[in-house]
Structure 1
């Protein structure tokens, strides 16, 4: 069994858009939001437990607070991002990021120094983005993106020498996507739920870890990761103060998430 805890840093580039109607036209991109370099800092906890020689359980939790970022919100009149009718740059230096993952895997020993582990996970990721402005003090719109689904991973561990070890993890995930927005300064929308997005998608990731044994029980670990997720076309539902609902095509979303972490691992 091993336990690991440390500090985590993420940078996320995230964008989405909608069309003017359910057919994806009038125009094909009506509104587009981009969140650029959303930086967050926090902590993570990780554990694994081997019950048998061929069965291993995993758990992971991370929680960050957003510390910096910006973005843009542009509306268009015509197709292919032409004739913009509204354009606003905003600050996004507030928000939350939470990630949970739990799974089970089968370790395979290839040699005394090399192991591989195939694993299946359930995962849940939540990120709350803010749209803020120094010029418009009342602007406090939010967009909460929730992703959950199944992840398949392959991990390779290698003992480089008596002190240094390394791991490489490749994963592929299926995503159920749901987002909720509160556009607090747009009078035609209800609050706190102004509109929602529902869709699904896929993604992949790669992580590299390097560890250094400080004793028989403790080691220092540093890791870096890259995860990309592509959300397909879905449905955008706007909730108006008239209690009417308007549906249009959600064109999808794209997330590129970079991660760095530094922690201490204990094994027993």
Structure 2
């Protein structure tokens, strides 16, 4: 049901941009180099869990960590270069800092999240995100109303999630996930009026997930490497951007961003302070992000 709703949503946006276009979109391709710089605000919801053993049992959810409404603010930059009239190179960089959020750590004695034997609630007032996303695009459709571009890309996103008290300096534990992605990229651009344009970007990703934790809450765990998680999965990114041409070479932009990433089951390796280690099933990691990006773009 969720997939059907997502597909209807995407098709509706594409149809909207097509029928709203009034003038040519050729101006988009005339500039050789574009540099976009601005501020990014996002709200991140992220969770992961492990089972009691490698078979996914005893119980099927042993421990679950949920980060709720992790608010981040920072800077972002995009560089666009026209290699030819049809091939383009783009690279996007993000650097965000955590402002606030909360996290729960719940352990269960029974299957299906029954018989909780430990429930911890913390603040999350520290952390950051760094993202590097280069991609190559190819123009496949150009007419008087619309441009359609497809491409391939690579994304690496590194996060740090902290357990803290009310004071950000009071650190209880740290989790460092890294998402690497091979991406298929689609971009639809349409000019609504002489000075207004709308752009829809869709990324479909195959994800490689790796995380390391420094679990300071447990003295029987090794430090600073307490355990690692590995898994693979898939994700979707949607970016709807409104552009206004302020001057000949300058535009101002407002973007709405949505991401939905998740992994399949993977492996969790626990490292104990006595030098031994144990393996168990990682049930998966799930992340959704909603955000706003306000920027200015200078074109050469």
Residue 112 of structure 1: how far off its partner (Å): 2.9
> In the aligned structure 2, how far is the partner of 1:124 from the partner of 1:138?
29
2:255 to 206, 223, 229: 223
Residue 41 in 1 paired to residue 73 in 2? Answer: yes
> In the aligned structure 1, how far is the partner of 2:252 from the partner of 2:142?
25
> In the aligned structure 2, how far is the partner of 1:171 from the partner of 1:13?
19
Residue 142 in 1 paired to residue 162 in 2? Answer: no
Gaps of 5+ in 1: none
Is residue 162–residue 171 contact of structure 2 (8 Å, CA) maintained in 1?
Answer: no
> In the aligned structure 2, how far is the partner of 1:161 from the partner of 1:113?
11
- From the two aligned structures, give the one with the greater helix fraction: 2
Is residue 139–residue 185 contact of structure 1 (8 Å, CA) maintained in 2?
Answer: no
1:127 match: secondary structure: strand
Residue 252 in 1 paired to residue 284 in 2? Answer: yes
Residue 31 in 1 paired to residue 57 in 2? Answer: no
Q: How many pairs align?
A: 268
Residue 65 in 1 paired to residue 72 in 2? Answer: no
Q: What are the superposed Cα offsets for residues 22-59 of structure 1, whole Å, 9 maximum, x if unpaired?
A: 00000000000000000000000101111111211010
Residue 110 of structure 1: how far off its partner (Å): 2.8
> In the aligned structure 1, how far is the partner of 2:83 from the partner of 2:189?
19
2:142 to 93, 110, 135: 110
Residue 156 in 1 paired to residue 183 in 2? Answer: no
Q: What TM-score does the superposition give when structure 1 sets the normalisation length?
A: 0.97
Q: What are the superposed Cα offsets for residues 182-222 of structure 1, whole Å, 9 maximum, x if unpaired?
A: 11130110101101101110011211000100111001001
> In the aligned structure 2, how far is the partner of 1:169 from the partner of 1:139?
38
1:52 match: secondary structure: coil
Is residue 53–residue 279 contact of structure 2 (8 Å, CA) maintained in 1?
Answer: yes
1:181-220, aligned counterparts within 5 Å? 181-220=213-252
> In the aligned structure 2, how far is the partner of 1:42 from the partner of 1:67?
10
> In the aligned structure 2, how far is the partner of 1:15 from the partner of 1:264?
34
- From the two aligned structures, give the one with the greater strand fraction: 1
Residue 109 of structure 1: how far off its partner (Å): 3.9
Q: Deviation above 4 Å: which 4+ runs of structure 1?
A: none
Q: What TM-score does the superposition give when structure 2 sets the normalisation length?
A: 0.87
1:6 to 6, 27, 38: 38
Q: What are the superposed Cα offsets for residues 53-85 of structure 1, whole Å, 9 maximum, x if unpaired?
A: 121101000000000100100000110111111
**Which residue matches 1:81?**
113
**Which residue matches 2:130?**
98
The RMSD of aligned alpha carbons is: 1.4
Q: What are the superposed Cα offsets for residues 221-242 of structure 1, whole Å, 9 maximum, x if unpaired?
A: 0101111001110000000011
Is residue 214–residue 220 contact of structure 1 (8 Å, CA) maintained in 2?
Answer: yes
> In the aligned structure 2, how far is the partner of 1:47 from the partner of 1:107?
17
**Which residue matches 1:124?**
156
2:83 match: secondary structure: strand
